[in-house]
Structure 1
Amino acid sequence: MKLTKQLASLCKPLGLPCLLSMSLLGGVVQAEDAPAPVVKPLPLEEIRVFTEVFDRIRQDYVEQVSDEQLLEDAIRGMLAGLDPHSTYLEPSAFSELQTHTSGEFGGLGIEVGMEDGFVRVITPIDDTPAQKAGVKAGDLIIKLGDQAVQGMDLNDAVELMRGPAGSELVLTIVREGEEKPLEITVVRDVIRVASVKQRVLDDGIGYLRITQFQVNTGNDLKRAMEKLEAETELKGLVLDLRNNPGGVLRAAVDVSDAFMDEGLIVYTKGRKANSELQYKATSERLTDIPLVVLINQGSASASEIVAGALQDQGRAVIMGVDSFGKGSVQTVLPLTKERALKLTTARYFTPSGRSIQAQGIKPDIYVAEAEIKLRESGNFIKESDLSGHLENGEDGSEDAVTDVRRIAETDYQLYEAIGLLRGLAIARKVTEKAADNQN
């Protein structure tokens, strides 16, 4: 009770209720007959300084600032002194975080960019309101509803395009080949952005790119693998985690689990008991084909969990350059329906006990980004140059060669990954044949 009275005396000149100051300082008010908890003494001198600064700003600052604003600024200041990833989430930031982690939002369903002050449609997403309404890639959006977009920031334009499902937005579009601007009415809907993209590269090499780890990334990965396997007989797989900033921890565990049969994936350590967790592989892996994981300096957090787990468990070859080195876990603690605290609560460790914090994942094979220019080895005459030569008789071989050359010139790291997977596939085939011959 003595401590409570001391705090009350500090708060009284400011007109603040004592309960508020107790909440801010982590104090506990208890009945006198209750057993007193063992707590560290509060730094009364620092509290006195805080209240004095608060009062001076309220009375003497050149412009009037509300008590609510000052207290929110004080919260931001406390968090700013911790680490770069602990922060106070205001309504807009909290909503944006929920959108990123869920991968769902109310909107039109188009990927856009800025061009000459206008919004250019890169592509409408399949089966979304924008595509159904007739929006096409290359369209130039000059108005969103009644607002002209020229000179508007891209983030502001995107915010205008988002909104509740069922609401309408009229897009004024300039389209090549049309004499007059078009007005297209689009009814917003819930847009779900898949976090995994897939395609088949040369000679049975599959390619998976995870852009961000969201709640549904594990399921997206399974669907992407099914599509790849339906297109070709896979001999190897590239998992591209370059420039992936991370996301949901559970999604990183799901992705790692998809390529592992058993073993530890990641564990965390923190001050509180509930922050010490272990995650292990729980199900049969999707495939056992050779796997190369691409990382770079933009691969962080959840990306590093996946790369570290697959590296330590010997499931994949990690290729690229050292990753970002974010080895801390953030917990989102809701304060109200609209505000939350994102607080660093633990560090995570790879199966072998490595802390990635400020170190990153080091690739098994170091391959820096590079630009290369391929050229022919000389003006030698080949069979295909001879008049009347016989045709090969197989279609598509030239397209495959051209595609590999294009990858070599545009994405050297991916080109090296393809080369490694080809070698692993050949070695595997030779091993299998040798085993068959012995039997």
Structure 2
Amino acid sequence: MSIRKRKWTTPKDLIKEAWVVDYVDSQGTRRLKTFAKKKEADAFSATAKIEVRDGVHVADSASATIKQACGFWVASGENDGLERSTINQRQRHVKLHIEPFIGNALLSRLNVPAIREFEDKLRDEGRSPAMIKKVIGSLGSILSDAQERGLTVRNPVKDMRGTRRTGKDRQAERRQNGRIKVGIDIPTREEIKAIVGSLEGRWKPLLITAIFTGMRSSELRGLRWQDVDFEKRAISVHQRADEFGEIGRPKSCAGERTIPVPPLVINTLREWKLACPRRETVRLDPNGNPATELHYVFPNGLGKIESHANIINRCLIPVQIKANIIQQDGQAGKAKYTGLHALRHFYASWCINRLEDGGLGLPLKVVQERMGHSTVTMTADTYGHLFPRGDDADELAAAEHALLS
């Protein structure tokens, strides 16, 4: 590997010069790279020498663009059998947020400053902080896939995350995101009472079950009658329905769980089972018509999987408006909670709250199992602040008396 100075004369008799790094890459191909300054050539030479020695060097002329790497990344997900909703999300991130800004950039020239500039572009174009975080995460996954294919040497997204998240950064992020709060993210006891009192018709059993099991929307939509044990008063989660109505396994191994339920849920489901729509089967009844059967607990009118949008727009939002649970921002008739996850948050808080406060008083590990979280850390990070501290004034006074008496 050598560095030499090159001079030439332009057609206008101007003398120009540059520094050229002449080297042979890992595949034995001769490469030339030109720099305006010698210090830039020296820096490249030092880095390239190590990369060539380790067999990981990728020259600019042999490097792929980010757009090409995106195509490989999406194809990898399809080959790995990822769910259609996950593939669609990858495609949306690529088409709407990555390719329009940096699709033509070479992977070999991507560095931490370029990633920061990309973040700024997304922010200037009106992307929300949550969306920027998701897109940068997808870009990091794209670069990891490209690394495995030998298309790039490093992943600047990982380098950036490793250097920027200091203790102050994490504190600032916690302050920005905040903790989920009762009355803002979690319905209050009074609001839940109002919702339960306003429920009627086909949506009543669904919301009753959501409130007292904390099941995800996808788990509720995929719930089968065979998973409801009326004798043991428990519901087992074995599958879920994605946004396209396709059945799959729960989000993680911990998602497969059995949830004890109170008598209200059992009694409501017993009544609902008599009126629940049945789905057609391939069998024929004695009259020659398609035979029907009970299958999904909360189906649509044809006995098939209900859509998430219908549950929100025809169930959750109208019942809140009926119960007068609306946003206090001057917009009349706007429901306060717009997603079923609010009911999941309530169930977690109900499991955590002390018995004297109307809760179950369950320990952290049991709450994790009931929620179907993959780790107890996830439960602690999300709901840890809701657990009673056990050091209020009365308990401190009792402990002091027991110690000093």
Could you state the TM-score of these two structures normalised by the residue count of structure 2?
A: 0.23
Larger strand proportion, structure 1 or 2? 1
Could you state the TM-score of these two structures normalised by the residue count of structure 1?
A: 0.22
